[in-house]
Amino acid sequence: MLHLASRSPRRAELLARLGLDFGVIDLDIPEQQGTDEPAAEYVRRVAREKAGAGLLQVVAVPGAVVLGADTEVILDGVVFGKPTNAEDAASMLRRLCGRTHEVITAVSVVSAAREAQAVSVSQVTFGAMSDVDIDSYLASDEWQGKAGGYAIQGRAQAHISHLSGSYSGVMGLPLFETAALLRQFGLLA
């Protein structure tokens, strides 16, 4: 049985697109980048920690497989996590405007017998956003709980001039890489 170790409705929606039945494990894993920890390693570590913590909750279930993922927005080596408030989100958006940033999503799949991980790296370019544009976006509350203060699948699309990489990866679960991992565990044909 597959279990998704995530509270993200976006990840559940994306995983469902693969046509699999799965359970959801509600976890609260601290997402704190270590001192001098490179951004990519941080994302990989958090995904592994989520999957591992999820496995601990279902280890008694025969054949349990747990998927954990983490997505972060990175600009100039700085990880833009989830904004703490609207002011923080506005600051992030202002820094992203007119620039290309990376979105890294790591996916870890674990069972009692094995572990595998894949990483998706995408480049996203924001066009210019006026203060009115940013205020309007913030008023939608779409920024809440989103790395970098935006959701590519929502109103932010109107401000993204270019995407190179995985759209589903920027949303929070790269389906190509996820499907490949799940095939390794015999969950997809």
Q: Tens digits of per-residue pLDDT, 13-26?
A: 999 999 999 999 99
Where the chain has pLDDT below 70, the residues are none
Contact present, 173 and 105 (Cβ < 8 Å):
yes
pLDDT of residue 189: 87
pTM (2 d.p.) = 0.94
So what's the pLDDT on residue 186? 96
Bridge-based pairing state of the strands 100-111 and 65-75: antiparallel
Confidence at residue 180, expressed as pLDDT on a 0 to 100 scale:
98
What is the predicted pLDDT for the residue at 178?
98
Among the options 21, 70, 88, 133, which is catalytic?
A: 70
Res 52: pLDDT: 97
Q: What is the pLDDT of residue 42?
A: 97
3-state SS, the chain, equals CEEEECCCHHHHHHHHCCCCCEEEECCCCCCCCCCCCCHHHHHHHHHHHHHHHHHHHHCCCCCCEEEEEEEEEEECCEEECCCCCHHHHHHHHHHHECCEEEEEEEEEEEECCCEEEEEEEEEEEECCCCHHHHHHHHHCCCCCCCHHHCCCCCHHHHHEEEEECCHHHHHCCCHHHHHHHHHHCCCCC
Distance between CA atoms of residues 46 and 48, nearest Å:
5
Any catalytic annotation for residue 70? yes
State the architecture of 2-184 in CATH terms.
Alpha-Beta Complex (3.90)
pLDDT at 20: 96
Confidence (pLDDT) at 30: 85
Gap between the Cα atoms of 143 and 159, Å rounded: 14
pLDDT score recorded for residue 31 = 87
Q: What's the pLDDT score for residue 91?
A: 97
User: What was the pLDDT predicted at 53?
Assistant: 97
Residues 6+ apart with CB under 8 A from 39: 33, 72, 74, 77, 78, 79, 102, 104
Residue 28: per-residue pLDDT: 86
Q: What ranges do the domains of the chain cover? A: 2-184
